[in-house]
Chains A and B, each alone.
Chain A
Amino acid sequence: MSPTLRYVGSRLVTTVLVLVCATVLLFSLTLFIPGNPAEVLLGPRATPEAVAAYSHIMGLDRPLLERLAIFLGNVLKGDLGRDVISGRPVLDLVLEVFPYTLTLTLSAIGLAVLLGVPLGCYAATHPGSVLDQVGAVTSVAFIALPNFVVAVFLVLIFSVWLHWLPVLGVGRDGGWGDAVLRLILPALSLALSWIGYIARLLRASLLEVLGEAHIRTARAYGVPERRIVYRNALKLAAIPTVAILGLGVGRLLGGAIFAEIIFARPGLGTLVYDAIAVRNYPVVQAAVLVVVGVFTLTNLLTDLSYLWLDPRLGRRLGEGR
């Protein structure tokens, strides 16, 4: 088996293990909560008979291992249970809102890459310049400012004072224009700190790569500087940035909640927030499971992308070095 295939195989096994562990942990969620979940769900008006009936429906009257086996079996079949409030399949609820969270996350990361990469490149190729120093200060400021503060300021400036951009929701008419306008502020509020991260990280790694021997050789051969930076150095310097972006997508999928609340957007964050408030555990479990799944998958793809960025890594990792 080639080293690359061995590496891909080992990463796939790790991914499956992480998913199984996360599923078991999520299952144990209901065990750590004080009281009977059926009682919490049904509320104070419920009769003991109703609590017993609901406990049976939820399978709470079965042995622990049997419940775990049923839960895992159902997850494998794609059955994540039913929303205890509306009675709808939880998977439907999650799939309804997931595209909104994914769009927001990808827009934020895309925006961060679009602005962060040029900033990082410029700072690395013009170290010590005025723009590099200004970039350093603003990057740190973006990283340090909490996203929700940025969000409120953005709303105040662009919606309340200038009346340029809308605040609430994802748009009503299904028109792309309106949907994009409503995406700008939440995506920007999430992206700003990532712009800072990417710019600083890329600057540091690019400076390191630009000092390597093969770059000096290329310069000695008279290869244009622009070609050296963007064709040769950037690809190698991008590896740490891609690693951070992989984590970023995962974090934003679960952590876009503040943006979803402040901008009243539907999404996984608000779904989990509402579900926790009413102890709707099937919804919490399903939404978190989807986030964990996407997070793990993103990390897998990130790891695999290293092979494309630097094929030497595949050989080294496959050999266990």
Chain B
Amino acid sequence: MTDFSRRQVLGAAATTAILAAAGLPFPVLAQQGRSSVTLAIGRDIQGLLTPADRTGPIEGNIMRTVCQGLIRFKPGSFDWELSAAKSLTQVNDTTIEFELNPGLMFHGGFGEMTADDVKFSFEQFGKIGADGKPAGYAKDWAALDHVEVTGKYTGKILLKSAAPQLWLVVLPDNSGLIISKKAFEGGAYRSDAQPIKLIGTGAYILAEWVPNQRVVLKANPDWKGTKPTFPEVVLQPVRDPKTAELALRANELQFTPVEPADAGEIEKEKDTKLLKQDSINYVWIGLNVEKPPFDNAKVRQALRLAIDVDQVLAGAYNGTVKPAYALMAPGLLGYWADAPKPKPDPAAAKKLLAEAGHPNGFKCTLTLMNKPTFQAIGQIVQALWAEIGVQVDLQVLDAGAYYAVGKGDSGKNLDMALQRFGGKADPAFQTQWFVASQIGTWNWQRWNDPAFDEASAKAASTNDKAERNRLYIEAQKRMEASGAFIWLTHEANIFAFRPWLKPAVLPNGDDMLYDRFTTA
């Protein structure tokens, strides 16, 4: 024991301190080269890496980088350009013809992409899995009848009915990605086989996935398109947004999404840039119209009038987002520019409550997810409703419990929920959750309006853009009249990154084009 002399201990401590100050043993000090870029992702890969059964945007972004679709989105917009296809033409309402670029090679020795792979990839969405489970994204290709292969590189996508949303939420997106039939049948894309194989023809290869540690994408040497700027993209799962912000400041990450409330503070940091773009997502409070007292339209109206949306957004989002007045965000087809913009009026709200038989208010529960921003919204709303006598208990749940709460019969007991859905470029994606058939699934308002369902269905099955615009506005008017939706915001996407980096993010904020990240 204690064989060290005091002199030895002091000497060792001094040496360590000098080395530490010089930074010699600490590789983190070394300036990272630009051959690699490390980007934060909110969670690790979960589940399959197939377009039909992907779990969410994390997997989708990786797949989009490794696989090609016939067309793809341009950075920062929902405009598309040709990708694997040499041409893609809508011949009539139910026929789309395609011709592939020849010579697109699947990496890993799985051969050239052909029209057979296109057929296999798209028809995969209609198949029932071995476990009796339909494909997770089966709805995306619900209009598909079949794909007819007319040549090695040519074919026809034959639809059961007109499906305009294919051009914005399917073909250029993850559900339009083309996988190798041969690789799939050989066991690729499966997460229960390690190492997982994601085979594509895109700009990058999934070179390494170390669960819970990193996903490494390396530039595909066979890629014939524009060479990506970074030979390597490392995706680092970081569950805690604050940790990601600290890691960015420590230069361990070069890009991360940030919480709106923290944006101001981060903006002050030198060597850090912020990208802020208005989103097309939507956050709202949904009232269960089947459950008293919310089955009374005057109660719903009163609750809405008591909320000062600007105050809620200032408190919860630090003023970084704009208020929403309807389902569709500005810029989308069906955006309702003239939607009513109600001013907060607690006196009128109290009067309506009295007319509805609740002069002293009532008690109820607002269910929300355990995210800091949502909890802040809940607390502000709680205070605002207390002014008109409505006592709200906040039921804060983790994601698993939250997403189960509105489902099936348990949804009948729900008073109201603070909800946030991600948007896509076509309005059909947004309206699909509020139809009657979604009651007990995603329509937690349990709102049943045949006129809304009819307008949504008509709009989703016509290629007439003006008519679609009219129908979607009509549908939103029905939502407005119901009073079941208290719209809060379409959110904003805020990302922090090193000034030399130029990220490529789609307008919904969840979807990234990693192969288009470049230097500023």
- A residues engaging B (CB < 8 A)? 34-35, 39-40, 42-47, 49-50, 52-54, 57, 82-83, 85-88, 93, 96-97, 152, 155-156, 159-160, 163-170, 172, 177-178, 181, 226, 230-231, 261-264, 266-267, 270-271, 273-274, 276-279
Roughly how many angstroms separate A85 CA and B238 CA in the complex, as a whole number?
A: 20
Contact between chains at B400 and A181 (CB < 8 Å): no
Most buried by A among B190, B213, B240: B213
Roughly how many angstroms separate A45 CA and B138 CA in the complex, as a whole number?
A: 9
Segment 172-200 of B: residues with Cβ below 8 Å from A: 190-192, 194
Roughly how many angstroms separate A276 CA and B243 CA in the complex, as a whole number?
A: 21
Roughly how many angstroms separate A53 CA and B132 CA in the complex, as a whole number?
A: 6
B136 within 8 A of A: yes
Residues of B within 8 A of A163 (CB): 23, 26, 28-29, 250-251
Contact between chains at B252 and A166 (CB < 8 Å): yes
Residues of B within 8 A of A50 (CB): 131-134
B408 within 8 A of A: yes
Residues of B within 8 A of A274 (CB): 43-44, 46, 239
B301 within 8 A of A: no
Residues of A within 8 A of B251 (CB): 163
Q: Closest Cβ of chain A: how far from B28's Cβ, in Å?
A: 4
Residues of A within 8 A of B1 (CB): 230-231
Residues of B within 8 A of A88 (CB): 191-192, 194
Interface size class of B (residues with CB under 8 A): 35 or more
Roughly how many angstroms separate A270 CA and B237 CA in the complex, as a whole number?
A: 11
Contact between chains at A264 and B238 (CB < 8 Å): yes
Residues of B within 8 A of A53 (CB): 131-133
Query: Which chain B residue has the least Cβ–Cβ distance from A270?
Result: B212
Q: Assuming the A-B contacts A86-B47, A88-B192, A262-B240, are A170 and B131 also in contact, with contact meaning beta carbons closer than 8 angstroms in the complex?
A: no
Residues of A within 8 A of B240 (CB): 261-262, 264
Segment 8-23 of B: residues with Cβ below 8 Å from A: 20, 23
Starting from the known contacts A45-B139, A163-B29, 10 additional A-B residue pairs (CB-CB under 8 Å) come to: A44-B441, A50-B134, A163-B26, A164-B26, A169-B213, A262-B240, A264-B240, A270-B239, A271-B212, A278-B46
B398 within 8 A of A: yes
Q: Closest Cβ of chain A: how far from B398's Cβ, in Å?
A: 6
Q: Assuming the A-B contacts A177-B25, A278-B46, are A47 and B252 also in contact, with contact meaning beta carbons closer than 8 angstroms in the complex?
A: no
Q: What secondary structure prevails in chain B residues at the interface with A?
A: loop
Residues of A within 8 A of B43 (CB): 274
Residues of A within 8 A of B47 (CB): 85-86
Q: Closest Cβ of chain B: how far from A268's Cβ, in Å?
A: 11
Q: Mark contacts of B372-416 with chain A using CB atoms, 8 A cut-off: 1 yes-contact digit, 0 otherwise.
A: 000000000000000000000000001110011001101000000
Residues of B within 8 A of A34 (CB): 404, 410
Contact between chains at B191 and A266 (CB < 8 Å): no
Q: Assuming the A-B contacts A39-B408, A278-B46, are A167 and B191 also in contact, with contact meaning beta carbons closer than 8 angstroms in the complex?
A: no
Residues of A within 8 A of B27 (CB): 177-178, 181
Contact between chains at A266 and B400 (CB < 8 Å): no
Query: Which chain A residue has the least Cβ–Cβ distance from B216?
Result: A172
Contact between chains at A54 and B246 (CB < 8 Å): no
Query: Which chain A residue has the least Cβ–Cβ distance from B23?
Result: A164
Q: Assuming the A-B contacts A35-B404, A169-B214, A278-B46, are A156 and B246 also in contact, with contact meaning beta carbons closer than 8 angstroms in the complex?
A: yes
Residues of B within 8 A of A52 (CB): 132
B143 within 8 A of A: no
Contact between chains at A165 and B28 (CB < 8 Å): yes
Residues of B within 8 A of A85 (CB): 46-47, 55, 191
B105 within 8 A of A: no
Most buried by B among A40, A152, A177, A278: A278
Query: Which chain A residue has the least Cβ–Cβ distance from B130?
Result: A53
Q: Mark contacts of B247-260 with chain A using CB atoms, 8 A cut-off: 1 yes-contact digit, 0 otherwise.
A: 10111110000000
Pick the residue among B20, B236, B410, B442 that contacts A169 (CB under 8 A): B236
Residues of B within 8 A of A152 (CB): 242, 246
B5 within 8 A of A: no
Q: Closest Cβ of chain A: how far from B210's Cβ, in Å?
A: 8
B360 within 8 A of A: no
Q: Closest Cβ of chain A: how far from B12's Cβ, in Å?
A: 13
User: Can you name 14 A-B residue pairings with CB atoms under 8 Å?
Assistant: A40-B404, A49-B132, A50-B132, A83-B192, A85-B55, A97-B211, A155-B243, A163-B26, A164-B28, A164-B29, A168-B238, A170-B213, A172-B213, A278-B399
Query: Which chain A residue has the least Cβ–Cβ distance from B131?
Result: A53
Q: Mark contacts of B43-63 with chain A using CB atoms, 8 A cut-off: 1 yes-contact digit, 0 otherwise.
A: 110110000000100000000
Query: Which chain B residue has the least Cβ–Cβ distance from A181?
Result: B26
Q: Assuming the A-B contacts A164-B20, A164-B23, are A45 and B239 also in contact, with contact meaning beta carbons closer than 8 angstroms in the complex?
A: no
Contact between chains at A167 and B236 (CB < 8 Å): no
Q: Closest Cβ of chain A: how far from B77's Cβ, in Å?
A: 29
B2 within 8 A of A: yes
Query: Which chain B residue has the least Cβ–Cβ distance from A273?
Result: B239
Contact between chains at A277 and B410 (CB < 8 Å): no
Contact between chains at A167 and B407 (CB < 8 Å): no
Contact between chains at B239 and A44 (CB < 8 Å): no
Contact between chains at A87 and B211 (CB < 8 Å): no
Roughly how many angstroms separate A18 CA and B403 CA in the complex, as a whole number?
A: 35
Query: Which chain B residue has the least Cβ–Cβ distance from A35?
Result: B404
Roughly how many angstroms separate A273 CA and B442 CA in the complex, as a whole number?
A: 25
Q: Closest Cβ of chain A: how far from B351's Cβ, in Å?
A: 39
Q: Closest Cβ of chain B: how far from A148's Cβ, in Å?
A: 10
Q: Closest Cβ of chain B: how far from A276's Cβ, in Å?
A: 7
Residues of A within 8 A of B131 (CB): 50, 53-54, 57
Q: Assuming the A-B contacts A45-B134, A88-B191, A274-B44, are A264 and B236 also in contact, with contact meaning beta carbons closer than 8 angstroms in the complex?
A: yes
Contact between chains at B243 and A44 (CB < 8 Å): no
Query: Which chain B residue has the least Cβ–Cβ distance from A52?
Result: B132
Query: Which chain A residue has the least Cβ–Cβ distance from B47?
Result: A85
Contact between chains at A167 and B246 (CB < 8 Å): yes
Residues of A within 8 A of B212 (CB): 97, 266-267, 270-271
Roughly how many angstroms separate A271 CA and B44 CA in the complex, as a whole number?
A: 11
Contact between chains at B237 and A264 (CB < 8 Å): yes
Query: Which chain A residue has the least Cβ–Cβ distance from B45?
Result: A86
Q: Assuming the A-B contacts A57-B131, A169-B214, are A160 and B192 also in contact, with contact meaning beta carbons closer than 8 angstroms in the complex?
A: no
Pick the residue among A49, A165, A271, A278 that contacts B400 (CB under 8 A): A278
Q: Closest Cβ of chain B: how far from A80's Cβ, in Å?
A: 15
Segment 407-432 of B: residues with Cβ below 8 Å from A: 407-408, 410
Contact between chains at B133 and A54 (CB < 8 Å): yes
